[in-house]
Amino acid sequence: MAISKSKVGGELPPAERQRGREPAGSFGSTIDHLHFKQMSPSDLEEIMRIERASFAYPWSARFFLQELGVPCSRSLLAVTSGKTVGYIIYWFLASEIDIHNLAVDPVYRRQGIGRSLLHAVIDEARGRGLSRVTLEVRKSNQTARRLYESVGFAVQGVRRGYYSDDGEDALAMVLEFKEKSSAA
């Protein structure tokens, strides 16, 4: 999952511009002065710290850098007091956003950061008139599944052996928008 040229030097997503990079507290974060910025290669050290602390089978630094070059890829870093505390990576597809990775620093979990990142992406999808947001989650990751369900995602199916590192199944989840906006 990579960040495209527009992610590195381009414009912030509409949801971020609307917030003026102000604190994301409206999404329920308990962190003061939480704001979002686009991921860049200079953020890789902090991203890898969070990635390794979050996953038994973390993405490699090379994979993150490759993601930065995918034209449809976007990302947001959650930052407070100059410290990266979480991130989300997602792709714009024809009529939807597909979330590829979401992680929050273990020290900052359960403070609404993951929820804030999800809401920023959901707002982006709605603002662009897309019809849905999709993701895959490990079947065993009950914490993430509860978070996704709490913002409206529903299990759409099972992808058997989806994770190549250990063969675990993934749950395919989707958040469908009842009305597609005309902002496309």
The correct answer on CATH 3.10.20.30 for the domain covering 5-176 is: no
The pLDDT tens digits along the chain (184 residues) read 322 222 222 333 444 333 333 334 435 556 678 999 999 999 999 999 999 999 999 999 999 999 989 999 999 999 998 999 999 999 999 899 999 999 999 999 999 999 999 999 999 999 999 999 999 999 999 999 999 999 999 999 999 999 988 889 999 999 999 865 554 4
Q: Is residue 148 flagged as an active site residue?
A: yes
- Whole-angstrom CA distances from 117 to 5, 67, 96, 105 are 21, 18, 17, 13
CB burial of residue 68 (10 Å; 0-12, 13-18, 19+): buried
pTM: 0.80
Q: Whole-angstrom Cα distance, residue 47 to residue 63?
A: 12
Q: Is residue 67 flagged as an active site residue?
A: no
Question: Which residue in 67, 96, 124, 136 is the catalytic one?
Answer: 136
Q: Whole-angstrom Cα distance, residue 127 to residue 177?
A: 11
Question: Which residue in 87, 90, 108, 148 is the catalytic one?
Answer: 148
CB-based contact 105:86 (threshold 8 Å): yes
